[in-house]
Structure 1
Amino acid sequence: MATLNIPENYQAVMPYLIVKNAGRFIRFTQDVFGATEQFKTMRDEHTIMHAEVNINGSTIMFADCTDTYQQQNAGMFIYVESCDATYQKALDNGAESIMPPANQSYGRSAGVKDPFGNTWWITNP
């Protein structure tokens, strides 16, 4: 079997989202999850053609939606230090609650829908 040479800071599987207002999506992930911007290239002055953020070693790729590439959202599960604090940060940054923080068999968990249509299941183990 051939060796798979995945570039540094990438994983074998990464979500690729197409969102409305990708620039604001970057800020949301930074403010709520402490993301760092890894890469961004613009289609024009206002439209992101491709961008990447990294959250604790996991890369999310995304772009602005266009007439050709319609919005495509996802549901994501994310481990955090504090479910309650991250849930509140998400709400403070425009997310809506799907499920308030509660103790589950796998940890403390909550659900939010971000302003871009993605669902985040926020969990601290």
Structure 2
Amino acid sequence: METEKNIPEAYQRIMPYLIVKDAASFILFMQNVFGAKEQYKQMRDEKHIMHAELSIEGSTIMFCDSTETYLPQNAGLFIYVDNCNETYKKALENGAESVTEPTDQPYGRSAGIKDPFGNTWWVTNPL
């Protein structure tokens, strides 16, 4: 496809774009729980992030701080991890709430968590 030539190398065709309250804390949560690496950050002012990008093993998540015009938008995200139990525990230790405890499913060991920003994550490691 012609458009593939124009997609920057570090990006995939579809990327989540989250609008969260306290994007700086979102960065810390993502680093602590999923080992995310900060790729880019542009500030709106000294306190608020206008646009930022995190990478998790080759996948990019874009996000920004919410404003009066752009209210928080929650998302449901599915992520493959190396160890569901460890990731679930890290998430809870970093302020997430349990949606479902880790259990074996036909597609892998999976759990659900709701992060402190209102997003639901389905963390799964293949069996």
Equivalence map 1:4-43=2 (5 Å): 4=4, 5-43=6-44
Match of 1:102 in 2: 103
Greater than 4 Å deviation, 4+ residue runs: none
Aligned identity (percent) is: 69
Deviation at 1:8, TM superposition (A): 1.5
Give the Cα separation in 2 of the matches to 1:37 and 1:96.
24
Count of aligned pairs: 125
SS of equivalent residue, structure 1 residue 102: strand
Equivalence map 1:102-121=2 (5 Å): 102-121=103-122
Match of 1:89 in 2: 90
Give the Cα separation in 2 of the matches to 1:95 and 1:88.
9
Deviation at 1:67, TM superposition (A): 0.4
Match of 1:45 in 2: 46
Q: Which runs of 5+ in 2 are unaligned?
A: none
Deviation at 1:51, TM superposition (A): 0.2
Q: In the alignment, residue 35 of structure 2 is paired with which amino acid?
A: G
Q: Does 1:73 align with 2:74?
A: yes
Equivalence map 1:54-65=2 (5 Å): 54-65=55-66
TM-score, normalising length: structure 1: 0.98
Deviation at 1:72, TM superposition (A): 0.7
Q: Which moved more, 1:3-12 or 1:90-99?
A: 3-12
Across the aligned residues of Structure 1 and Structure 2, the Cα RMSD in angstroms comes to 0.8
Q: Which runs of 5+ in 1 are unaligned?
A: none
